[in-house]
């Protein structure tokens, strides 16, 4: 009796395995992952002015992040950005802000800007993919992200100002 039971168990196990391999052959899926390239979309222009002289030190095309999805995603998954471009985050209120570089593949300067459109702090050379918190030194309503090193090239300082327009 025990021998018959073992034989029946072995035959049914082999049958299940054969059926599984036959049934799965038609369901093979392509596991290739395609990545979409996220292109820059010009939505406005920003001018950065030196506080001491009111002279324009930079003019950039900007992409605007002003809703939940775009402010949470920002420049994540982008492979590059031109030096003449940036992303301007616009928040509904002015408060202490903190950004991080999770899923961001390019090094950035993060410029925190007050409701009065004055630079209140700068986080320079933020490292790609780093989840370290990069906080503002004061309340900010706007945040401008540009390629790393540009704030140094422009000699940006606290108190310098911005003005921007939407397309």
Please give the chain's pLDDT, 167 residues, in tens: 444 444 444 445 454 444 444 444 555 566 676 677 889 999 999 999 999 999 999 999 999 999 999 999 999 999 999 999 999 999 999 999 999 999 999 999 999 999 999 999 999 999 999 999 999 999 999 999 999 999 999 999 999 999 999 98
Task: Say if CB 142 and CB 118 are below 8 A apart.
Answer: no
| Domains of the chain, start order | 44-166 (2.60.120.1140)
Residue with tokens 């090094």: 107
CA 143, CA 21: separation in Å to the nearest integer?
55
Mapped onto helix, strand or coil, the DSSP state of residue 93 is strand
Residue with tokens 């809703």: 67
Q: What is the pTM of this model?
A: 0.80
Mapped onto helix, strand or coil, the DSSP state of residue 7 is helix
């Amino acid at each position: 009796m025990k021998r018959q039971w073992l034989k029946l168990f072995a035959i049914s196990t082999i049958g299940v395995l054969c059926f599984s391999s036959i049934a799965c052959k038609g369901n093979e899926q392509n596991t290739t992952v395609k990545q979409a390239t996220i292109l820059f979309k010009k939505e406005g222009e920003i001018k950065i002015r030196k506080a001491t002289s009111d002279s324009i030190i930079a003019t950039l095309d900007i992409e605007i992040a002003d809703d939940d999805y775009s402010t949470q995603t920002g420049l994540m998954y982008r492979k590059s950005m031109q030096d003449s471009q940036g992303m301007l985050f616009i928040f509904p209120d002015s408060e202490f802000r903190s950004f991080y570089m999770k899923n961001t593949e390019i090094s950035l300067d993060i410029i925190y800007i007050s409701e009065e459109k004055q630079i209140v702090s700068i986080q320079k050379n933020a490292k790609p993919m780093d989840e370290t918190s990069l906080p503002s030194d004061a309340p900010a309503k706007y945040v401008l992200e540009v390629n790393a090193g540009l704030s140094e090239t422009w000699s940006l300082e606290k108190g310098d100002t911005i003005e921007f327009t939407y397309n």
